[in-house]
Chain A
Amino acid sequence: DSGVTQTPKHLITATGQRVTLRCSPRSGDLSVYWYQQSLDQGLQFLIQYYNGEERAKGNILERFSAQQFPDLHSELNLSSLELGDSALYFCASSASQGTRNTLHFGNGTRLTVT
């Protein structure tokens, strides 16, 4: 158990809809990262937050947004969903933002857009 909790585990929704994925980091971790894995491909970095502030941005679509709350949990909001957004979305956390910190991943949320 990595200590990172993601909810829900599975989500099925229709095109055009909006969903929110939730992540609780490991106790004490200040950094949260969101990754997308499509069709057995590698993990694509979306966005990172550190102690409530956006720290780095990857290939995140404008239809997607995220935030980290004062209690350090994070939410990833996906709107105007398209079929191609179907993927596994992983959240990871680390103690700080230094490059030697290991990322600990949750078990992911599987999003299916129909």
Chain B
Amino acid sequence: DQQVKQNSPSLSVQEGRISILNCDYTNSMFDYFLWYKKYPAEGPTFLISISSIKDKNEDGRFTVFLNKSAKHLSLHIVPSQPGDSAVYFCAASASLSAGNMLTFGGGTRLMVKP
């Protein structure tokens, strides 16, 4: 049973426009959410995170929104740049679980066209 789902395997956006990547989760114990970006032949790199006590976190061009009642989060990239083309993974963790392991979604491949 996938606890974190990214239902769009790919997304294509024009340079300068907004990219919106979506993520749904089922485990109500999750209280911390992260987005990672992955380029080919590299490991995932941390992008932005949000705690369940917030509904929005912003860092430059990247904003993450959390809707706890809907168990949904989204990543907004504005404006999108060709260098943003990568696979984006949504991840979640639960403070009451052992360790600090992250549960990942399947990823969304973002393509930003010049």
Residues of A within 8 A of B (CB): 2, 4, 31, 33, 35, 40-45, 48, 50, 55-56, 58, 90, 92, 94, 96-108
Contact = CB atoms under 8 A, between A and B. Distances in A.
Nearest to B46: A102
Contact of B44 (A90, A97, A100): A90
A33 B105 CA distance: 17
B45 interface: yes
B64 to A, nearest CB: 14
Given A43-B89, A99-B32, A105 B44 contact: yes
Given A55-B98, A55-B99, A106 B104 contact: no
B28 to A, nearest CB: 15
A100 B34 CA distance: 10
Interface in B18-62: 31-32, 34, 36, 41-46, 49, 51
A105 B97 CA distance: 21
Interface residues of B, number: 30
Interface of B: 2, 4, 6, 31-32, 34, 36, 41-46, 49, 51, 89, 93-95, 97-107
B45 A2 contact: yes
Contact of B102 (A4, A45, A106): A45
Contact of A102 (B41, B49, B97): B49
Contacts of B46: 102-104
Contacts of B99: 31, 33, 48, 50, 55-56, 97
Contact of B95 (A42, A58, A99, A107): A99
A58 B98 CA distance: 11
Given A31-B99, A33-B101, A58-B101, A99 B93 contact: yes
22 contacts: A31-B100, A41-B106, A42-B89, A42-B104, A42-B106, A43-B44, A43-B104, A45-B103, A48-B100, A56-B101, A92-B43, A96-B100, A99-B32, A99-B95, A99-B97, A102-B34, A102-B46, A103-B100, A105-B43, A105-B45, A107-B41, A107-B43
